[in-house]
Amino acid sequence: MSVGEALRLAWQGLLANRLRSGLTMLGILIGVGAVILLVAVGNGASIKVQNQVQALGSNIVYIYPSSTKAGGVSQGFGSGSTLTQADVNALNDRSQAPDIVTAIPVAQASGNMTWQNQNWFAQTTGSTQDFAQVRAYDIKTGAMFTAADVTSSSKVVVVGQTVVDNLFQGQDPVGQQIKINRVTFTVVGTFASKGSAALGNQDNVAVVPITTAWNYLTGGRGKNISQIVIQATSADTVKAAQTEATNILLNLHQVADPTNPDFTSQSQQDILNATSQITGTLTVLLGAIAAISLVVGGIGIMNIMLVTVTERTREIGIRKAIGARRRDILLQFLIESMVLSGLGGLLGIAAGWLIALQIGSIKIAGGTLPQPVVSIPSVLLAFGVSVGIGLFFGIYPANRAAGLHPIEALRYE
Amino acid sequence: MDSRQPLISLNGVTKVYRMGEIEVQALRGIDLQIVEGEFIAIMGASGSGKSTLMNLIGCLDTPSEGTYLLEDVDVAELDDDSLAMIRNLRIGFVFQSFNLIPRSTALHNVEMPLIYAGDSAQRLERALAALDLVGLADRAHHQPSELSGGQQQRVAIARALITEPAILLADEPTGNLDTESSLEIMRLLTRLNEQGRTIVLITHEGDIATFASRVVRLRDGLILSDDRQVPREPAGAEAPSEQAAAEAVS
Distance CA A384, CA B127 (A): 38
Burial class of B96 by CB neighbour count within 10 A (0 to 12, 13 to 18, 19+): middle
Number of domains into which chain B is organized: 1
pTM above 0.80, yes or no: no
* Interchain proximity B87–A323, CB inside 8 Å: yes
Does the CA dihedral B5-B6-B10-B12 come out positive or negative? negative
**Rounded distance between C-alpha atoms, residue B73 and residue B59, angstroms:** 12
Please give the share of chain B, as a percent, with pLDDT higher than 90. 49
Give the chain A residue whose CA is nearest to the CA of B102: A315
| Chain A, nearest residue to B91 by Cα | A322
Query: Which of A311, A318, A331, A332 to mutate to probe the B interface, most B CBs <10 Å?
Result: A318
How far apart CA B209 and CA B184 sit, in angstroms, is 14
3-state secondary structure of B7: strand
Chain B hits for A325, CB-CB cut-off 8 Å, are 80-81, 84-85, 116
Is residue B230 one of the residues assigned to a domain?
yes
pLDDT value for A413: 75
Q: What is the pLDDT of residue A366?
A: 58
Residues of chain B in Cβ contact (below 8 Å) with chain A = 55, 58, 60-61, 80-81, 84-85, 87-89, 93, 95, 99-104, 112-113, 115-118, 159, 163
Span B20-32, mean pLDDT? Answer: 88
Residue B144 lies in a domain: yes
CATH number at residue B106: 3.40.50.300
pLDDT value, residue B249:
46
- The domain locations on chain A are 3-53+274-411, 81-261
The residue type found at B186 is M
Which of B60, B100, B113 lies nearest to residue A406, judging by beta carbons? Answer: B60
How many pairs of residues across A and B have Cβ atoms under 8 Å apart? Answer: 63
Q: Do A322 and B113 touch (CB under 8 A)?
A: yes
- Cα–Cα distances in Å, from B26 out to A120, B19, B75? 103, 12, 19
Sign of CA dihedral A214, A219, A223, A224: negative
Residue B245, pLDDT > 50, answer: no
- Look at the alpha carbons of A347, A349, A353, A359 in this order and tell me if their dihedral is positive or negative: positive
Q: How far apart are CA A301 and CA A398, in angstroms?
A: 12
A310 in Cβ contact with A382 (< 8 Å): no
Lowest mean pLDDT among A118-127, B168-177, B240-249: B240-249
Q: Is the pLDDT of residue B220 over 80?
A: yes
Is residue B157 included in any domain, yes or no? yes
Confirm if B134 and B151 have CB atoms less than 8 A apart: no
Q: What's the rounded Cα separation, in Å, for the pair B33 and B5? A: 9
Identity of the residue in A5, A12, A410 whose CB atom sits nearest the CB atom of B115: A5
Would you report the helix, strand and coil content of chain A in percent, each value rounded to 5? 55, 20, 25
- Closest chain A CA to residue B115: A1
pLDDT of A104: 92
- Residues B105, B142 contacting (CB under 8 angstroms): yes
What confidence tier does B248 reach under pLDDT thresholds 50, 70, 90?
A: very low
Question: Which of A322, A330, A335 to mutate to test binding with chain B, by most B CBs within 10 Å of its CB?
Answer: A322
Cβ atoms of residues A210 and A127 within 8 Å: yes
User: Which has more pLDDT, B199 or A196?
Assistant: B199
Of B55, B104, B113, the CB nearest to A323: B113
Strand-strand pairing, A183-191 and A363-364: unpaired
pLDDT band at B156 (very low <50, low <70, confident <90, very high): very high
Does residue B244 have a pLDDT over 60?
no
Report if residue B7 sits inside a domain: no
Half-sphere CA count of B196, side-chain side, radius 13 A:
3
Q: Over chain A (413 residues), what is each successive 10-residue block's mean pLDDT?
A: 83 87 92 89 84 78 75 56 83 86 87 86 89 88 91 91 86 89 91 70 88 83 82 86 88 81 84 84 86 88 91 92 92 92 93 88 68 86 90 93 90 81
Residue B44, in any domain of the structure: yes
Residues in B closer than 8 angstroms to A327, CB to CB, are 81
The answer to whether A1 contacts B115, with C-beta atoms less than 8 Å apart, is: yes
How buried is residue B177: exposed, middle or buried, by Cβ count under 10 Å (0-12/13-18/19+)?
Answer: buried
A89 CB neighbour count, 10 Å cutoff: 12
Range of the domain at B90: 36-62+79-249
Cβ–Cβ < 8 Å for A192, A55: no
Among the listed residues A365, A348, A405, A362, the one whose alpha carbon sits nearest the alpha carbon of residue A36:
A348
pLDDT at B4: 66
Please give the pLDDT value at position A67.
Answer: 67
Q: At residue A177, what is the residue type?
A: Q
Confidence of residue B234 (pLDDT cuts 50, 70, 90): low
The DSSP output letter for A258 is: T
Q: Which of A10, A5, A78 is nearest to A312 (CA)?
A: A10
Mean pLDDT for the stretch of residues B102-107: 89
Q: What is the ipTM of this complex?
A: 0.87
pLDDT of residue B18: 83
| pLDDT at residue B79 greater than cutoff 80 | yes
A34-54 burial string, b = 16+ CB within 10 Å, else e?
A: bbbbbbbbbbbbbbbbeebbe
Hey, how many other C-beta atoms are within 10 angstroms of the C-beta on A287? 19
**Interatomic CA distance for residues A333 and A143, integer angstroms:** 73
Query: Helices B123-133 and B149-161, interaxial angle, to 10°?
Result: 130
Of B116, B159, B163, which has the smallest distance from its Cβ to A324's Cβ?
B116
